Amino acid sequence: MRQKNLRIIDNISDLKKEIEKLQGSIGLVPTMGALHLGHQSLIEKSVQQNDNTVVSIFVNPIQFGINEDLDKYPRKLEKDCELCKQQGVDIVFAPRIEEMYKSDKNNITLICPPVNAVDKLCGKSRPGHFDGVCTVVAKLFNLTKANKAYFGQKDAQQLFIIQKMVKDLDFNIEIVPCPIVREQDGLALSSRNQYLSKNDRILALNIQKALKTAISLAKKGINDKRTILDSCLEILSDLDVDYIEFVDKNTFETVDLIDKNTLLLIAAKTPQTKTRLIDNSLLH
- The smaller minimum CB distance to ligand PAF, of residues 9 and 133, is found at 133
Q: Dmax over Cα atoms in the chain, in whole Å? A: 57
The only residue of 27, 30, 38, 113 in contact with ligand PAF, by rule CB under 6 A: 30
| Cα dihedral 44, 208, 212, 226 sign | negative
In angstroms, give the least distance from the CB of 67 to ligand PAF.
Answer: 18
Cβ proximity to ligand PAF: between 137 and 247 the closer is: 137
225 vs 154, 218, 234, CA distance in Å?
Answer: 22, 9, 14
Residue with smaller CB distance to ligand PAF, 158 or 275: 158
- Residue in 26, 27, 31, 90 binding ligand PAF, rule: CB under 6 A: 31
For residue 173, state whether it binds ligand PAF (rule: CB under 6 A): no
Picking from 125, 64, 117, 52, the residue whose alpha carbon sits closest to that of residue 89 is: 52
Residues 6+ apart with CB under 8 A from 51: 22, 23, 24, 25, 26
* DSSP, residue by residue, 211-255: HHHHHHHHHTT--BHHHHHHHHHHHTTTSEEEEEEEEETTT--B-
Site membership for ligand PAF, residue 157 (CB under 6 A): no
If you write DSSP's letter for every residue of 179-216 in order, what string do you get? ---B-TTSPBP-GGGGG--HHHHHHHHHHHHHHHHHHH
Which is closer to ligand PAF, CB of 180 or CB of 236? 180
The Cα 38–Cα 228 span in angstroms is 28
Q: Which of 84, 133, 138, 204 binds ligand PAF (CB under 6 A)?
A: 133
User: Is 30 or 95 the residue whose CB approaches ligand PAF more closely?
Assistant: 30
Asked whether position 136 contacts ligand PAF by CB under 6 A, the answer is yes
**Which residue among 91, 137, 161, 204 contacts ligand PAF (CB under 6 A)?**
137
- Interface with ligand PAF by CB under 6 A: which range of 4-12, 29-37, 240-248, 265-273? 29-37
Catalytic residue among 36, 39, 129, 284: 39
Which spans of this chain sit near ligand PAF (rule: CB under 6 A)? 30-32, 60, 63, 133, 136-137, 155, 158
What amino acid positions are annotated as catalytic residues?
39
